Amino acid sequence: MRAAAPLVDAPHSATADEVLVALRSDSSAGLTPDESRERVSRYGRNELPRAAGPGVLRRWWNQIRNPLVLVLVAAGTTTLAIGHYVDSAVIFGVVVLNAIVGYVQESRARQALDALTRLVRTDCTVLRAGQRHTVPSAELVPGDVVMLEAGDRVPADARLLATRDLECDESALTGESLPAAKTTEPVPERAPLASRSCLVHSGTLVTRGTARAVVVATGLDTEIGAVQGMVAAAEAPPTPLTRKLTKFSKQLTVAIVAVAVVTFAAGVLRGSAPVEMFIAAVALAVAAIPEGLPAVVTVVLAIGVVRMSRRRAVVRHLPAVETLGSTTVICSDKTGTITANEMTVVDVIAAGEVYSVSGTGFSPEGELNHRDSPIDLLGHPALVECLVTAVLCNDAELRHEQGRWHAVGDPTEVALLTVAGKAGLDWTVLRRNAARVDELPFESQRRMMATLNRESDGTVIGHAKGAVERIVEWCDSAMAPDESRVPLDTDAVLERAHTLAAQGLRVLACARFRPRDGTPALDEQDVRGRMMLVGLIAMHDAPREGVVEAVAACHQAGVAVKMITGDHPETARRVAAEIGLGARGGEPAVVTGAELAQLAADAFDVAAVDTDVFARVSPAQKLDLVEAFQRQGHVVAMTGDGINDAPALRKADIGVAMGTVGTEAARDASDMVLADDDFTSIEAAVEEGRGVFDNLRKFITWILPTNVGQGLVILTAVVLGMTLPVLPVQVLWINMTTAVVLGLTLAFEAKEPGIMLRPPRPPRRPLLTTDLVRRILLVSAVLVAGAFTAFQLQQHSGHSLDVARTTAINVIIFAMIAFLLSCRSLERFIAFRVNWWLFGGIGLMVLLQLALTYAPVMQVLFHTAAIGADGWLLVLAFTALTYLVVELDKALWRHKDTRAERVTVQQGKGHRHGTFRR
């Protein structure tokens, strides 16, 4: 049993010495090996328990426990009990086939995800009895003193004891896009997580500097551990498709049982033997159950998975494909999801002139424009000097390897190299021709960095960059357009910087200076009050390419997009405005986590719907927002990549994690993983999901008349005391061949035109609408009438019972072929889209029917006989009648539905939070 760790209450508000005393540790010696071993046994290993996936048997059971499959199991068991072994074998064969398809697909998804999330075991440097040792991070305990440097992954939550220029990337935990500067000074006890500058947290990355820290929390006691606890507590809701199929299955089961009971009662009342009527009732139930539905549902979803895999998306659970098609709200993280988590320079101000910069990310592809025109660097010497300073006073590296740009170092410094490349400057040449001879490294207290560089002629020039306020404070002049010194207008520079910062931009100032007496040594006295301001550089984390179009497509489809981030409100507002999140193209509505915390429950729900951007939110508030949308009937998709996104990913109707930069916690909590982190794939997934649901509805609409019609044929024959037009073994032939050979081809239908122009499906709308139920009953009536009419006419014409039944079978089969062609679109007339699977399926079905009708072996097995020209005329007549009846019904339905759709879309256009008809 794990004991409570001897942690200091709020270690961020205590001094380093107080924390060391409470943990019984020493800053210079750490713990002894014996103390370390004792604490491991007392507090446990520094690991997060990985959720064990379901075992093999559980995964098989998950494939079988589908309500429709359980209905089939019951039917198969019943038929086996009464001695119908062939029927039972066929039904159980369908159950096994369906389970195999689902199991194999989920196994493939699991293997792909395991390959994606496989992480290398991390080691760390720790002091043990005053000596440095490299140990696995899992062996750390509270009280251990660890050494950190740039590039290290922080192994546990720790209180900083000593730092030098320390910065950490905490975006995965806090949502902040910029590295956080760290110090040893305590902060107020109620300081939010992002402001606890004296703590480093497990799983975050050291981007700059070095530090010594004492471990205060390990395993589940860390901030990551707290998030994992929230993930475990967030119960994943059933998907919309699962809910609809469950409800549909229950309704279908009730209907089948009711009809079977009526059949049994009607036969007994007519004087038939109870045992005989029980067998007839079971036969009717078998006829009415759509055996192929579970398998086809699985195959349709699997096809959607394959199509998504072409967009580099790994689907962990089959229903997730369809769920995106039902989505009404997408809640997206900003950093790394909407943006690339790559700082991009957007403006350079040199000698009072503003130069705009195109292009995004770290790739130096783009250009600088002055007054909307491309520039010639020869005519802008002040701009050149500003960019040269940005390159030389810089520790980052940017390399082009294997066709891609790879950045090493602080994202802000990488962005400075990128903008120099866009201007046509070669940073490698500049650095080679102006070697660094000394430097004043960046420190959070100093808020600036300075270097001395010796140029090729031997001249030593100083370069500096940093916070605008600090650089301006230490400048005594500014560079003029002709590179001469002019008086510095401090107020004007600070006002310009404040204006840029209010737009969500990070602003750096660049300056030059000459060392005292030309000596190649550097200290603060060399730069304080002696620098010349050469320019300002404004940058931000730009949206990913294609995100603007993807967001616009979602809005056009009636799907709301909400940005939920831990970043600064103004930064989030700017990005939201760039990607078009504001209602009707206006200013995005922004609410902070602190403001959400003050709202009552009702007001919280209203704010959730009316707000475009949620900034500075905690993981718990992300979860609250998802639940707020779900309470209002929305189907919520949550995208994210950070540890702080995991609880909301788990709770959302579908969680979509980033595969490249995403954390393991986020991927484990998700239903779908985007391997390339491309937000535009979300919009494609919504479209794909709608297509999957359309094809499912087409199949269900098509298959049910076969089952309902056959059930009604048996019921009518029993009630009227007539000879059965179709035998049970013939019923099984019809059910299995049509479902697999014909119905399955609908899974390959292309998406309907304009699928992203219609509003989302109302979450509470049933799988089958009233119009589709009417059409199913209409086609069922045609099949019953056709089967009975053909059966009776053939008998009255003197044909044998087998010939009459064979004619009835072919009437049903070919009428279903006509209905299949009509079901390619449930709203439109003849679909001219090519589906070779469908045409091949029809051809195969015709060949099978000819074999059933004329092959001697088939005649013996299925009690059929050859039919003549008069029989085929009846088949063709009812085939044409079926198609005409359905198309007429479709025309009436489309006229009414189009008017309702037009009104809904017009009411919903420009609406901030999407529309759907309830």
Report DSSP letters for 633-664, one per residue.
T--EEEEE-SGGGHHHHHHSSEEEEESSS--H
- Give the pLDDT score at 907: 38
- Give the pLDDT score at 910: 38
Q: Is the predicted pLDDT of residue 903 greater than 70, yes or no?
A: no
- Give the pLDDT score at 116: 39
* Average pLDDT over all residues of the chain: 81
Q: How many CB atoms lie within 10 A of CB 206?
A: 21
User: Which has more confidence, 343 or 345?
Assistant: 345
Tokens of 751: 């998406």
Q: pLDDT tens, 39-77?
A: 988 888 888 765 555 666 776 776 666 655 666 677 677
Q: Is 661:641 a contact under the CB 8 Å cutoff?
A: yes
- Give the pLDDT score at 710: 76
Q: Which of 532-536, 541-545, 650-654, 807-811 has the lowest mean pLDDT?
A: 541-545
Alpha helices (runs of H) in 84-194, residue ranges in sequence order: 85-117, 171-174
Q: How confident is the model at residue 177 (pLDDT cuts 50, 70, 90)?
A: low
- Give the pLDDT score at 293: 67
User: Which has more confidence, 178 or 393?
Assistant: 393
Q: Is the predicted pLDDT of residue 109 greater than 80, yes or no?
A: no
Tokens of 843: 């051809």
Q: How confident is the model at residue 865 (pLDDT cuts 50, 70, 90)?
A: very high
Q: Which of 14-18, 162-166, 206-210, 310-314 has the lowest mean pLDDT?
A: 310-314
d(CA 815, CA 780): 10
Q: How confident is the model at residue 289 (pLDDT cuts 50, 70, 90)?
A: low
Q: Is 655:330 a contact under the CB 8 Å cutoff?
A: no
Tokens of 781: 């009536």
Q: How confident is the model at residue 242 (pLDDT cuts 50, 70, 90)?
A: low
Sign of the C-alpha dihedral, residues 467, 472, 477, 478? positive
- Give the pLDDT score at 847: 96
Q: What is the dihedral of CA 521, 525, 529, 535, to 10 degrees?
A: 40
Tokens of 423: 């201007």
- Give the pLDDT score at 51: 53
Q: How confident is the model at residue 645 (pLDDT cuts 50, 70, 90)?
A: confident
pTM over 0.85: no
Closest CA to 639 of 334, 406, 241: 334
d(CA 340, CA 545): 9
What positions carry a catalytic annotation? 333
Q: pLDDT tens, 473-495?
A: 999 999 998 889 999 999 999 99
Mapping DSSP onto H, E and C, the string for 569-621 reads: HHHHHHHHHHHCCCHHHCCCCEEEHHHHHCCCHHHHHHHHHHCCEEECCCHHH
Q: How confident is the model at residue 2 (pLDDT cuts 50, 70, 90)?
A: very low
Q: How confident is the model at residue 117 (pLDDT cuts 50, 70, 90)?
A: very low
Q: How many CB atoms lie within 10 A of CB 400?
A: 11
Exposure class string for 31-53: b at 16+ Cβ within 10 A, else e: beeebbeebbeebbbbebeeeee
d(CA 291, CA 64): 13
d(CA 303, CA 310): 11
- Give the pLDDT score at 8: 72
Q: pLDDT tens, 550-582?
A: 888 888 888 999 998 877 788 788 888 888 887
Q: Which of 443-452, 771-780, 866-875 has the lowest mean pLDDT?
A: 443-452
Q: Is the predicted pLDDT of residue 112 greater than 80, yes or no?
A: no
The mean per-residue pLDDT over the stretch 177-189 comes to: 86
- Give the pLDDT score at 902: 44
Q: Which residues does 551 contact at the CB level (< 8 Å), separation at least 6?
A: 561, 579, 580, 581, 683
Residue type at position 415: A
- Give the pLDDT score at 175: 65
76: phi then psi, degrees, rounded to nearest 5: -65, -40
Q: Which of 386-390, 409-413, 820-824 has the lowest mean pLDDT?
A: 409-413
Closest CA to 897 of 786, 810, 806, 769: 769
Q: Which of 73-82, 716-725, 735-744 has the lowest mean pLDDT?
A: 73-82
Q: How confident is the model at residue 804 (pLDDT cuts 50, 70, 90)?
A: very high
- Give the pLDDT score at 3: 40
Q: How confident is the model at residue 660 (pLDDT cuts 50, 70, 90)?
A: low
* Helix, strand and coil percent figures for the chain, each rounded to 5: 55, 20, 30
873 CB burial (10 A radius; 0-12, 13-18, 19+)? exposed
Q: Is the predicted pLDDT of residue 677 greater than 90, yes or no?
A: no
Closest CA to 167 of 200, 120, 134: 200
Q: Is the predicted pLDDT of residue 913 greater than 50, yes or no?
A: no
- Give the pLDDT score at 644: 64
User: Which has more confidence, 609 or 300?
Assistant: 609
